[in-house]
Amino acid sequence: MRNIVRSVRYFNIFFAASCLFCTFAGMEVFRFRQFSVSQDRCAMKVGTDAVLLGAWARGGRRVLDVGTGTGVIALMMAQRHTEAQVTAIDIDADAVAQARQNVTASPFAARISVRCERVQQHVGCYDAVVSNPPFFIDALAAPDRQRSMARHADTLTYAELIQAAWRLLDDDGELSVVVPFDYRQRMEDEATFQGFFPSRVCAFHTKSGKPARRYLLAFRKHPCQCERSAMTLGDAAYQALTCDFYL
């Protein structure tokens, strides 16, 4: 038991490096406690951003995952919210095929639907919308078309995501996103312009004493008290958030 606990702690602390190593080492299956994620057909592999959002975002009976990629966030939401029906959408056909493969192999297949569709054209009503959106706005596109599509906001701007979330969310619903620290203000500005109010903000630090590298942000349609928190990779808050997923 002691060895297991030590292994879990080690894995948590070095998760970001592990994800990077898995990608370059050709390890194309990432294993969680209740499901596994194949990622050989996806441009963006399982990473810290997606795991943070999937473990942090509030859910409900109807959940929409925008830009699902491998399907990891949809799977995490289905695991955490046992009554939820999760719809996962992506515009990349290869990613959709991969997500469907991962969902089919999971215990949550009956509650997750994967579609190849743009959120701008999606129709529905949801208690929660979650997204790890493309974030490069003022950078050159990657030469790899699939990777560029997943990372660059010309395929889904922050404004388009916010507008779609406003249209698709129930009156009491919540939008949750994860963004790099230097894109936080842009996301918050777009949300405010649309009429959203911040409901939760969590600063994620990769190292104690260093500035936050990622922000988890949540928004609602009506004024509310904003819950603010922070965590650091490997600390007690991080381990408590992710312990139901890591082996």
Against a cut of 0.75, is the pTM above it?
A: yes
> Quick one: average pLDDT of 34-59?
94
Q: Can you give the pLDDT at residue 183?
A: 96
E strand or H helix that includes residue 180: strand 169-180
Q: Can you give the pLDDT at residue 19?
A: 43
Q: Can you give the pLDDT at residue 182?
A: 95
Q: Can you give the pLDDT at residue 247?
A: 78
- Is residue 135 very low, low, confident or very high in pLDDT (cuts 50, 70, 90)? low
pLDDT tens, position by position, 68-112: 999 999 999 999 999 999 999 999 999 999 999 999 999 999 999
Burial class (CB in 10 A: 0-12, 13-18, 19+), 154: exposed
Q: Can you give the pLDDT at residue 138?
A: 52
> Quick one: average pLDDT of 174-203?
98
Lowest mean pLDDT among 15-29, 145-159, 214-228: 15-29
> Quick one: average pLDDT of 116-133?
97
Q: Sign of the C-alpha dihedral, residues 205, 6, 19, 245?
A: negative
Distances in Å between the Cα of 37 and the Cα atoms of 31, 70, 157 are 6, 7, 27
pLDDT tens, position by position, 169-179: 999 999 999 99
Q: Can you give the pLDDT at residue 236?
A: 97
Q: Can you give the pLDDT at residue 44?
A: 83
More confident residue, 221 or 4: 221
Average pLDDT, the chain: 87
217: alpha, beta or left? (left if phi > 0; alpha if psi -120 to 50): beta
Cα(48)–Cα(176) distance, rounded to whole angstroms? 16
Q: What is the dihedral of CA 208, 214, 216, 219, to 10 degrees?
A: 130
Q: Can you give the pLDDT at residue 14?
A: 46
Q: Can you give the pLDDT at residue 155?
A: 76
Q: What share of the chain is helix, strand, coil (3-state, %, to 5)?
A: 40, 25, 35
Q: Can you give the pLDDT at residue 5?
A: 41
Backbone angles phi, psi at 32, to 5 degrees: -110, 180
pLDDT tens, position by position, 21-32: 333 234 589 999
Q: Minimal CA–CA distance to 41: which of 78, 103, 93, 113?
A: 93
Cα(170)–Cα(125) distance, rounded to whole angstroms? 6
> Quick one: average pLDDT of 208-234?
97
- Is residue 43 very low, low, confident or very high in pLDDT (cuts 50, 70, 90)? confident
Q: Can you give the pLDDT at residue 27?
A: 54
E strand or H helix that includes residue 114: strand 112-116
